[in-house]
Amino acid sequence: MALPGNWLWSFSKEAIVNIGSISGVLFTPFSGSYCAFKAAFNALSDVLRMELKQFGVRVVTVQPGAVQSQLVRE
| CA proximity to 19, closest of 37, 52, 41, 47 | 41
| Contact in structure between 59 and 14 (CB atoms under 8 Å) | no
34 catalytic per annotation = yes
Given the residues 34, 44, 49, 57, select the one marked as catalytic: 34
Active site residues: 34
